């Protein structure tokens, strides 16, 4: 299991951590429900068992129910604002990260490959950089050849709302705009199991 960097908020970070992924993901969902009660509103449409099973095989923990997302608008590297709600109708990979985070850097190339593979089929990315300046992030994006949208959470407010305590943390959002799964720690996003999981979710039309 790849390590994570513990995020303590307001620019405070801790050393690489290792642990039980299922426990860490459970805590992420618990923090979401506690910090923003509206996120825990149960949805009428359940998460299909086939989708949950596919993500489980890919090593991604599915939620017990759909969680409402907290909408936000943050600046892209070019300064334009990007909202999460503008992506509704697509499957969204919402990734919280930082340029100096070694596990984040490790997973970025496979995230880029996943994005390129499915972007024409209804998949969108939103990578939320935490508390870094625009220049450093722009250099990183260019050096790594990233094509997916990157926004800047300069104050760390959105990361706090989403209960981010370790990076990278990634949420999978369905076409309804609801969180259906989460991953704490770096992953290889370019595997047959991952492709099967995202295919199942993309085919799950509301």
Confidence of residue 12 (pLDDT cuts 50, 70, 90): very low
Summarize pLDDT for 126-138 with one digit per residue, the tens. 999 999 999 999 9
What's the rounded mean pLDDT across residues 39-67? 80
Tokens of 129: 């950089």
pLDDT at res. 69? 87
pLDDT at res. 28? 56
Say what percent of the chain tops pLDDT 70.
78
CATH class, range 4-8+21-202:
alpha beta
């Amino acid at each position: 299991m790849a390590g994570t960097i513990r995020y303590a908020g307001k620019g405070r970070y801790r050393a690489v951590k290792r642990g039980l992924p299922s426990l860490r993901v459970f805590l992420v969902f618990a923090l979401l429900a506690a910090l923003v009660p509206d996120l825990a509103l149960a949805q009428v449409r359940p998460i299909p068992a086939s989708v949950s099973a596919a993500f489980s095989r890919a090593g991604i923990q599915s939620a017990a129910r759909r969680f409402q997302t907290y909408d936000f608008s943050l600046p892209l590297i070019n300064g334009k604002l990007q909202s999460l709600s503008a992506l509704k109708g697509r499957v969204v990979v919402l990734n919280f990260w930082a340029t100096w985070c070694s596990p984040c850097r490790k997973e970025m190339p496979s995230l880029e490959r996943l994005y390129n593979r499915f972007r024409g089929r209804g998949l969108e990315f939103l990578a939320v950089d935490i508390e870094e300046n625009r220049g450093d992030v722009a250099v990183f994006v260019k050096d790594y050849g990233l094509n997916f949208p990157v926004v800047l959470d300069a104050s760390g407010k959105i990361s706090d709302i989403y209960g981010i305590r370790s990076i990278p943390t990634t949420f999978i959002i369905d076409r309804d705009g609801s969180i259906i799964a989460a991953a704490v720690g770096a992953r290889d996003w370019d595997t047959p199991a991952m492709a099967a999981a995202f295919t199942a979710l993309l085919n799950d039309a509301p």
